[in-house]
Amino acid sequence: MSNSRTNTSTRDVVFNSVSIVNSVTERPKELTGLWNAINIYENIFNNVVTGTIEMKDGVNVYAELGLHGQEYLWISFSKPGDTDKLTKYEKAFRIYKVSEKEPSESQIQSYVIHFCSEELIFSNQITISRSLKDMVISDYVYSICTRDLRINNNKLDLLNNFEWSVGVQNFVVPALHPFDAIDILTQNAFSASLSPFMFFENNQGFNFISLEGMFGKSPLTTLNYSNAKITEDASTAAFKNANQISKMKFANSFDMLRNTQKLTYSGRLYTLDILRQRYDKNDYNVRKMPETNFIDGKNVPINNAANRNEKELTEEFGTKLFYHITNKGQTNTPYLSSRAFRVVDTNIESTLVQRESLLNLLNNTILNCTVPGNTLFTVGNIVEIEMPSFASNAPNMRNIDPYLSGKYLITAVRHVLVPSGGHQTLLTVNKNSLSSPLDRADRSSRNYRKMRNA
């Protein structure tokens, strides 16, 4: 019996069903022999799962089913002989668009069907207006998911995919679509260690979880990169080949210009209290964040080199300035306290700057890689990567990069399927810290000072 956790290959997949269900005919229309490729996309920055299916239609399914955007696509595939429910992919999607429709051969037309989770279409159809009072944001988000979007319970795993935020807050939702309301609420949610939250869907359901919660997960597996397949002991070769990166490219290793234009290492927040007619200055330094906000320990991907002001990157707070209204501490003003009036703190000092910094830092290192098809790879999970140092190796040795090896967060997934049985998974994985700390700068270096001030 095969097991997708330990043994998989790019062609090792069985399609149980790829069919369209419309609102007129009772019987689903199987698309066997009518499609060329399926792409299924997950992204940590998107609310739902989306995808496309490339059609080569010689029996005019388009007209037979009267496709117009109120149909559903059912996709089910698994590994041959695999009975593990976690690795079997089954999901219903809403068809929302057809594009690139043109004749390709005699009596044959090609087109691309675009699909997404039903919740996205439903969210666009309704609005909610509601006063949310004295609750933590996770309660608000869960309420919208169940009460308004009516998301199926099997898509909301409160034990694994739904994390509870901290801090009681008040919100008014003014005629917003549910996902728009969730996006705004998510921007204001944080954990006890000031870690920002994300809301997204993967093949396990909807997730409302902090970066800290994702970073704390155990790695799904260890991926390795080599130009040749592993041919050692047959008992271990299958497992290692199953986790082999066939292609890889760093979309970004670091970008100092971007990171100093955006709030990544440091910044400043000015807050204005209208009631007390005062303003405060709040300085932010990424090194002061709790270690749990970093994926591989608190090894921030910069050292302590100084600029022309003899300051580190984390000491120049003018990188980006924020201005915002605050109500911090208003409950303690004599007028309100004497009347037992309570003001719910918006906690803007604990969320606005930290969220932008940590999300920018998450994009410091971005790796795109191709691995054998496996549905266990979902966004929001962690993988370990053994990154080679790309240097000459001694016999029987494999040098590992001390900085870029280690844990990575899966931020985007693309499952590519072809009817002949092929399945590849394209991963985008991100890293906001280094496995080993960078060497400390030599502040007395004459050459460095000369170049810096040249």
What pLDDT score does 395 carry? 60
Q: Which of 130-134, 317-321, 382-386 has the lowest mean pLDDT?
A: 130-134
What pLDDT score does 2 carry? 39
Q: For the segment 364-405, what is each residue's pLDDT rounded down to a tens digit?
A: 999 999 999 999 999 999 999 988 888 776 666 678 888 999
Report CA 359 to chain centroid distance, whole Å. Answer: 10
pLDDT greater than 80 at residue 39: yes
Report d(CA 37, CA 3) in Å as an integer. Answer: 24
- Considering only residues 276 and 281, tell me which one the structure prediction assigns the higher pLDDT: 281
Q: Which CATH architecture has domain 122-212?
A: 3-Layer(bab) Sandwich (3.55)
pLDDT greater than 60 at residue 238: no
What pLDDT score does 389 carry? 84
E strand or H helix that includes residue 53: strand 50-57
Q: For the segment 152-186, what is each residue's pLDDT rounded down to a tens digit?
A: 888 887 767 899 999 888 888 999 999 999 999 99
pLDDT greater than 90 at residue 17: yes
Overall CATH class of domain 14-119: mainly beta
Question: What number is the average pLDDT over the span 320-327?
Answer: 91
pLDDT greater than 80 at residue 227: no
Q: What percent of the chain has pLDDT over 90?
A: 66
Q: For the segment 50-71, what is each residue's pLDDT rounded down to a tens digit?
A: 999 999 999 999 999 999 999 9
Question: Confidence class of residue 191 from pLDDT cuts 50, 70 and 90?
Answer: very high
What pLDDT score does 11 carry? 60
What pLDDT score does 159 carry? 67
Q: Which of 377, 371, 370, 369 is nearest to 5 (CA)?
A: 377
What pLDDT score does 341 carry? 78
14-119 and 122-212 in the same fold: no
Two structure tokens written together for 197: 């939250």
Question: Confidence class of residue 229 from pLDDT cuts 50, 70 and 90?
Answer: very low
- Considering only residues 225 and 339, tell me which one the structure prediction assigns the higher pLDDT: 225
Contact 295, 364 (CB under 8 A): no
Q: Which of 305, 296, 313, 255 is nearest to 401 (CA)?
A: 296
Question: What number is the average pLDDT over the span 434-451?
Answer: 92
Residue whose tokens read 């209204």: 325
* Domain extent listing, the chain: 14-119, 122-212, 256-361
Q: Contacts from 5-8 at CB under 8 Å and sequence distance 24+?
A: 5/84, 5/87, 5/221, 5/376, 6/238, 6/239, 6/242, 7/238, 7/239, 7/242, 8/79, 8/242, 8/372, 8/373, 8/374
Question: What number is the average pLDDT over the span 429-447?
Answer: 93
What pLDDT score does 361 carry? 95
pLDDT greater than 80 at residue 359: yes
Contact 286, 339 (CB under 8 A): no
List, in sequence order, the alpha helices (H) in 126-246: 137-143, 178-187, 211-215, 234-242
Question: Confidence class of residue 4 from pLDDT cuts 50, 70 and 90?
Answer: very low
Question: Confidence class of residue 1 from pLDDT cuts 50, 70 and 90?
Answer: very low
pLDDT greater than 60 at residue 253: yes
Q: Give the chain's end-to-end CA distance (angstroms, integer).
A: 67
What pLDDT score does 396 carry? 63
